[in-house]
């Protein structure tokens, strides 16, 4: 029949979160990781977000070091949206209902910018000699 007062049960696995907002939730949406909730479709909205770990390859084909030396760098990063409430709330604002590919695209672009900026402040010797420091600077 499908009326405004139908209810639906939303279920999500441990690798995703659902965020329910609208009537009955006041100013703060309900965030559920790996669980279920009753939803009233006419007065509530549901967004989903993946909590999978995503592996990203970051290509920086021509980057100039602090000495002006062009180098090419390929980095690999693993990114994941945290299930902690404050981080999840921020992530749902940015990525709600986006799939892993869309999240990976934004992360890749951001990480490539950070990678380029950091390498631009380092010498070739620093990059090769102290990879741990370089890795520490790019992580956030």
Count other Cβ atoms within 10 Å, centred on residue 81. 22
- What integer pLDDT is reported at residue 26 of this predicted model? 66
Q: What's the mean pLDDT in 79-106? A: 91
* CA-wise closest residue to 111 among 57, 61, 66: 57
Query: What are the DSSP E strand ranges found in 23-87?
Result: 30-33, 36-39, 44-50, 54-64, 70-79
Helix (H, G, I), strand (E, B) or coil at 57: strand
- Record the pTM: 0.75
Q: What's the mean pLDDT in 102-124? A: 91
- Report the share of the chain in percent with pLDDT over 90: 49
Dump the DSSP string for 71-120: EEEEEEEEE----SHHHHHHHHHHHTT--HHHHHHHHHHHHHHHHHHHHT
Specify the residue for token string 């309900």: 30
pLDDT digits (tens, 9 = 90+) for 29-46: 899 999 999 999 888 989
Instruction: State yes or no: pLDDT of 124 exceeds 80.
Output: yes
Q: Pairing between strand 16-22 and 36-39?
A: unpaired
Cα–Cα dist 108/20, whole Å: 28
């Amino acid at each position: 029949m499908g009326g405004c007062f139908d209810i639906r049960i939303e279920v999500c696995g441990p690798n995703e979160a659902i965020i329910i907002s609208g009537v009955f939730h006041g100013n703060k949406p309900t965030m559920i990781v790996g669980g279920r909730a009753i939803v009233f479709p006419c007065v509530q909205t549901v967004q989903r977000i993946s909590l999978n770990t995503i592996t990203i390859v970051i290509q920086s084909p021509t980057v100039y070091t602090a000495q002006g030396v062009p180098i090419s760098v390929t980095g690999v990063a693993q990114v994941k949206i945290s299930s902690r409430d404050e981080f999840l709330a921020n992530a749902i604002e940015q990525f709600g209902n986006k799939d892993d590919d869309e999240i990976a695209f934004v992360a890749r672009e951001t990480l490539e910018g950070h990678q380029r900026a950091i390498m631009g402040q380092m010498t070739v010797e620093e990059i090769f000699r102290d990879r741990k420091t370089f890795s520490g600077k790019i992580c956030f």
